[in-house]
Structure 1
């Protein structure tokens, strides 16, 4: 009888240990699920340029916009260029505040040229701030690289819905002392504005056209002198630069206003 009781006690103890292990396993699984649910509250920052245009333009959900700035050695963006971009955003977005972070230097990737895939991979490495779907601040990423774009003569690209990149080596190569060559500040001011405008949905790429003014085959404007002319993102535009940053034409402004902007 005593042997039977001891055997029964051992079996009961083993059963309780197994139950404890099951509880621990279930707890770990719950923790993992909770982490996944948290990540799902983040705005999808890997959509195409212009696909979050309304979030840029209106102030219904995101009342503030913050721009995170990274640059590679030797290519820190100029203060004038950044101030120009900030002013442009304040003029066109219904945001209570537009903030540009202090530029942060990141390591060079050691390449003479970069593809759009390279740029996306670099963002994955260095971007720190992302947009919460239940917050009130829209976060944007801004990267200046130390090489050229894989497509010759291109100065900047909008490559995700909240991301823009600029090719510092190309900007530096075509800048100089006015009037013989445009200053680096003027080139940056122009190209920074142009690429941000793509993420506002121009042209007809997130902010629908109110009047037809889109070029064939690209999201650019047909109006002479407009900031969104296709040549503005290339070195070709600056070979005959007048010295002033081109404005958005009325047709582009109408598109932005119809989609929630100023």
Structure 2
């Protein structure tokens, strides 16, 4: 009888142990939004700079391009961006061939919230943590930019998430024309495309640590006059005095990229 009671108590203890283990296992199940196995495509610009620059895991980069009617990016502009990426990223392949026209947003201006909403609606490709391809989203809209406070209309491009950039196609068209009086649309695109991708590469001091201090006060831009990453390059102001040449990165920006896995 005593033996039976001991066995019964032992069985109860073991049962409680199993229940306790099961509850513990269930309660530590991960939320998909917090899953470390998932790549976060909605982090801040520059947060994935090393993924852009190095080939430690992501050996390929694919750019998904969506544009609104009448604002398909020019092939010369995209070719210039491809050349820039190939010069600076350690990737086996870089593709910018996936272009899709999306419906007009039917707005004269777009805030960051509007642009993010458009991405949520239209973006098809996302980076897998276990994959080897880094997916980037490129959006061209048919209006001006609004900062939500009634200004920002001179902005031509924005990097708004770690793998997302948007461009104001209507604004680019408005300031383009026939050289030498006005810069061509292709030159404007080439310049602004490169500048915004520079932010997602972590320039300046925003994901790719500075090797020498060259950051402007209050923004992630370069203090060197004539550098691709100087503050005015993303605005119409820069093109009012445009020389016709797409600016290059200065040596300090290149040093930052190379120190973080780039070329």
TM-score, reference length from structure 2? 0.85
**Alpha carbons 1:147, 1:168 under 8 Å: kept:** yes
Per the alignment, do residues 43 and 235 of structure 1 end up closer, same or farther by CA in structure 2, a change over 3 Å counting? same
Quote the residue 1:165 is aligned against: 166
Q: Offset of 1:42 from its aligned partner? A: 3.1
1:120 pairs with one of 113, 116, 122: 116
Asked if 1:75 is matched to 2:110, the reply is: no
Deviations 1:180-229 (A, max 9, x none): 10000000000000000000000000001000100000000000110000
Asked if 1:245 is matched to 2:246, the reply is: yes
Alpha-carbon distance in 2 for matches of 1:190, 1:97: 22
Secondary structure in structure 2 of the residue aligned to 1:103: strand
Alpha-carbon distance in 2 for matches of 1:53, 1:200: 4
1:86 pairs with one of 75, 82, 86: 82
> Which deviates more, 46-55 or 97-106?
97-106
**Alpha carbons 2:66, 2:100 under 8 Å: kept:** yes
Alpha-carbon distance in 2 for matches of 1:48, 1:98: 22
Quote the residue 1:20 is aligned against: none
Please, which runs of 5 or more residues in structure 2 have no aligned partner?
1-25, 147-151
Secondary structure in structure 2 of the residue aligned to 1:172: helix
- Count residues with an aligned counterpart: 231
Quote the residue 1:96 is aligned against: 92
Asked if 1:64 is matched to 2:97, the reply is: no
Alpha-carbon distance in 1 for matches of 2:81, 2:97: 13
Quote the residue 1:204 is aligned against: 205
Q: Which of structures 1 and 2 has the bigger CA Rg? A: 1
**Alpha carbons 1:42, 1:130 under 8 Å: kept:** no
2:132 pairs with one of 133, 136, 143: 136
Alpha-carbon distance in 2 for matches of 1:87, 1:35: 40
Alpha-carbon distance in 2 for matches of 1:65, 1:50: 16
**Alignment RMSD (CA, Å):** 1.8
Secondary structure in structure 1 of the residue aligned to 2:98: coil
Deviations 1:146-184 (A, max 9, x none): 000001200000000000000001000000000010000
Deviations 1:109-133 (A, max 9, x none): 1100000010000000000000000
**Alpha carbons 1:46, 1:160 under 8 Å: kept:** yes
Deviations 1:5-58 (A, max 9, x none): xxxxxxxxxxxxxxxxxxxxxxxxx9xx89959x86431000000000000000
Deviations 1:92-115 (A, max 9, x none): 000000001331100011100000
Deviations 1:69-107 (A, max 9, x none): 000000000000001001100100000000013311000
Please, which runs of 5 or more residues in structure 1 have no aligned partner?
1-29
Alpha-carbon distance in 1 for matches of 2:137, 2:80: 17
Structure 1 stretches of 4+ moved >4 Å: 33-37
Alpha-carbon distance in 1 for matches of 2:132, 2:32: 22
Describe how 1:45-60 pairs up with structure 2 within 5 A: 45-60=41-56
Alpha-carbon distance in 2 for matches of 1:255, 1:139: 23
Alpha-carbon distance in 2 for matches of 1:169, 1:214: 30
